[in-house]
Amino acid sequence: DQQVKQNSPSLSVQEGRISILNCDYTNSMFDYFLWYKKYPAEGPTFLISISSIKDKNEDGRFTVFLNKSAKHLSLHIVPSQPGDSAVYFCAASDPSGGGADGLTFGKGTHLIIQP
Amino acid sequence: GAGVSQSPRYKVAKRGQDVALRCDPISGHVSLFWYQQALGQGPEFLTYFQNEAQLDKSGLPSDRFFAERPEGSVSTLKIQRTQQEDSAVYLCASSRVPGLASNEQFFGPGTRLTVL
């Protein structure tokens, strides 16, 4: 069963508008969340992260929101640019020692920015 | 370059062959992770090294998979008697500090393994 879920396989947004990518998780032991961006034939690159003690983290055009009670996080990109077209992965970690030492990833959302 | 490198980038193997995939992490990075990414899926954790010690191998799917990092830098993921379900992109990532997976991990470009 998927512990990190990205229910939208793809999302199309017009250039200049806001892109909102969603992620849900089921494991209440997750306490750190990351977003990675991936271009074809390249490895994922780190974008932004958030600790469970916060509900918002902002870095330039990118903002991540965390709703712990709903076990939901979202990535907002504003304004969206053509170079933002990529696959975005949501990832989570459980540092309690009860889970694996690696990140748990969602399946990804393919974001397409239309001119 | 200064990033994580992996070789080969592409590998085609006949079913039953053994393969070895190499990862060169960023110099000085203590932590090294291997992930498997099947088509249309997100990366799935395989194993974790802190320096030369393999601290977690809970994600390795079978005893045909073996990883090592003998000198705490370069790592090799070996798959014995490859099967078609082993076809995937194998990603290596490294991190500057030990321990928690919450630290930013730098990924290599991956090795795409196709088993015929």
Q: Check A93 against B42: CB less than 8 A apart.
A: no
- Chain A residues in contact with B96 by the CB 8 A cut-off are none
pLDDT, mean of residues A58-69 = 97
Q: What is the mean pLDDT of residues A12-31?
A: 96
Task: Name the residue of chain B whose CA is nearest to A10's CA.
Answer: B40
Confidence of residue A98 (pLDDT cuts 50, 70, 90): low
Tell me the shortest Cα–Cα distance from B19 to chain A, in angstroms. Answer: 21
Task: List Cβ neighbours of A112 (8 Å cut-off, separation of 6 or more).
Answer: A10, A11, A12, A13, A85
Buried b (16+ CB within 10 A) or exposed e, A91-104: bbbbbeeebbbbbb
Does position A97 have pLDDT exceeding 70, yes or no?
A: no
The nearest CA of chain B is from the CA of A17 a distance in Å of 27
**Among candidates A24, A31, A32, A34, which has minimal Cα distance to A3?**
A24
A contact test, residue of B32, B102, B106, B111 with most A CBs within 10 A? B102
Query: Which of B56, B100, B108 is the closest to A93 by Cβ?
Result: B100
Q: Report pLDDT digits (tens) over B15-62.
A: 999 999 999 999 999 999 999 999 999 999 999 999 999 999 999 999
**Contacts across the A-B interface (CB distance below 8 Å):** 75
The answer to whether the beta carbons of residues A71 and A64 sit under 8 Å apart is no
Question: Mind listing the pLDDT tens digit for each residue in B46-105?
Answer: 999 999 999 999 999 999 999 999 999 999 999 999 999 999 999 999 998 876 655 688
